[in-house]
A and B are shown apart, each in its own frame.
Chain A
Amino acid sequence: MIRFSQVSKRYPNGYEALKRINFTLEREKMAFLVGHSGAGKSTLLKLITLVERSTHGQLVVNSKNLVKLPRRQIPYFRREVGVIFQDHKLLHDRTVFDNVALPLVVSGVGHRETGRRVRAALDKVGLLGKERLFPITLSGGEQQRVGIARAVVNRPPLLLADEPTGNLDAQLSDEIMDLFYQFNQYGVTVIIATHERRHIQRLNKPVLELKDGRLVNDGAPH
């Protein structure tokens, strides 16, 4: 699903955030991405969603060569990747329903189909019945669930989560992690960037570890 070969990222100011990264994540697998802040976790995720372009190496995601993907194609590529953000990135002037429906509206899914899929996604994250509310009236955990529902609503084969439990207490963050685990059981490839070792031990999944822009652990069993 994801293959990094000698991928480097140097920002225009000269800072080299990632240095010759090599790893492969097979389809339907799940992995954690760990490392100190500034180790390059966010940059790595940004490369996978083409928010940033790699400056060196080969990067293939979902059978697409991202190095050669033209700018016009980026939106269509992003529809195949569900992303969950630490700060949720919800639209606060729209209801929960409209937030979750956004990826479907963007890709032109019909009205009835949209309603059906949004409710299915909200059901999966346990928020059915709150679709008329505005995100601001929800708790932090619930807002993150809305973000998750939005990420999975058009059933992408790949899910990326950047510190999805950053602001949540232990019990809530366990629930969120269990959700990702379930999606992985359904066959979705999942990468979760986190700094909480607890989840890694609990779920027993491979770990990609970054240190100063280098991959010190590529998740392969030793």
Chain B
Amino acid sequence: MRAYLLRHVQVLLASLGQLARAPGSTMMSVGVIGITLALPGLLYLLVANAERVSSEWHGGTHVSLFLHGTVDNDQAQKLAAHLAKRADVNRVRVVSSEQALSEFKELSGFGEALDALPANPLPSLLVVIPEPQYEQPETLEKMVLELQSLPAVELAQMDMQWVQRFHVILKLTRRALIVLSVLLALAVLLIVSNTIRLAIVNRRAEIEIIQLIGGTDRFIRRPFLYSGMLQGFLGGGVAIVLIALCLHLLRPPIQVLANLYGSGFRVTGLGVFESLTILAIGMGLGWLASRWSAGRHLSRMQPA
């Protein structure tokens, strides 16, 4: 067992040596693998960060009913109680015109200017939160139309519609991430299998000799598997560095944007787990590709 492990370490070192002896082509293929792995990695980070942003906007959809200025607080409360009985309404929150004014003063910074106004210009507001099962676009649409037709209501507005759109876009992006990842994984497979094919062709004479003196396919394959795995691993490392570099370049402008929206959002990069995952994926793809390539080319290779 120890001899077996020792042999594997020897083969690993020998493969490293082979790669180091051809630094140009090794760097090329490792670089291409790195870029190929970095693309889905970056897209993954985009999705992950976007999901974090959207999770800050808790709650789904609600409908805002802006009441006519003539409707007073009591009437607003009554209407709210009435609406709350609807099957499609979960609850209704009343924002009286006074509340609305004080909130607006606080948030807008126009406090003193607003004090100067003779009367409160803001209407009362009912925030209608639908039952979760009625959150589909069609049923909400219907509800908005019905609420809009109430005499006390000046404007019924479906808020957070864009949150839904955002979620749909996120979903789409996630799907695109999967498709892209599969395609790029395929690209890595092709890149590695091609370099392995070249390595096999270059060492054809050696392989034939080893076949003639009784080397098994497994023995002959082993250095190529290590070589493919190493290339994938190094490519994964390059991908991690590239992603970190991209984030470094993107972080300041994103921070500025987040500050403009008054959000404390900070871009997160790759964690330890994600980095290890990229390395593992690189290695796995490298192994798979070299296994495939070696299998294909060695079985056709017979000593002459």
Give A contacts to B, CB under 8 Å: 49, 51, 75-79, 83, 89-91, 102-103, 106-108, 110-111, 150
Contact = CB atoms under 8 A, between A and B. Distances in A.
Contacts of B303: 51
B209 A103 contact: no
A79 B209 contact: no
Interface of B: 3-4, 6-7, 205-206, 208-217, 219, 302-304
A78 B212 contact: yes
Nearest to A49: B212
B210 A102 contact: yes
A51 B301 CA distance: 11
Contacts of B217: 75
Given A78-B213, A107-B214, 14 more contacts: A51-B302, A51-B304, A75-B211, A75-B219, A76-B214, A76-B216, A78-B212, A89-B205, A89-B208, A90-B209, A91-B205, A91-B209, A102-B209, A111-B6
20 contacts: A51-B303, A51-B304, A75-B211, A75-B214, A75-B215, A75-B216, A75-B217, A75-B219, A76-B214, A78-B211, A83-B213, A89-B209, A89-B212, A90-B209, A91-B205, A91-B206, A102-B213, A106-B219, A108-B4, A111-B3
A83 B206 contact: no
A106 B209 contact: no
A111 B2 CA distance: 11
Nearest to B208: A89
Nearest to A91: B206
Nearest to B304: A51
Contacts, number: 49
Nearest to A103: B213
Given A51-B302, A108-B3, A110-B3, A83 B212 contact: yes
Nearest to A106: B215
Contacts of A49: 212
Nearest to B2: A110
A77 B212 CA distance: 10
B206 A79 contact: no
Nearest to B4: A108
Nearest to A77: B214
A111 B205 CA distance: 25
Nearest to A81: B214
A51 to B, nearest CB: 5
Contacts of B3: 108, 110-111
Contacts of A51: 212, 302-304
A138 B89 CA distance: 95
A78 B6 CA distance: 25
Contacts of B210: 102, 106
Contacts of B212: 49, 51, 78, 83, 89
B216 to A, nearest CB: 4
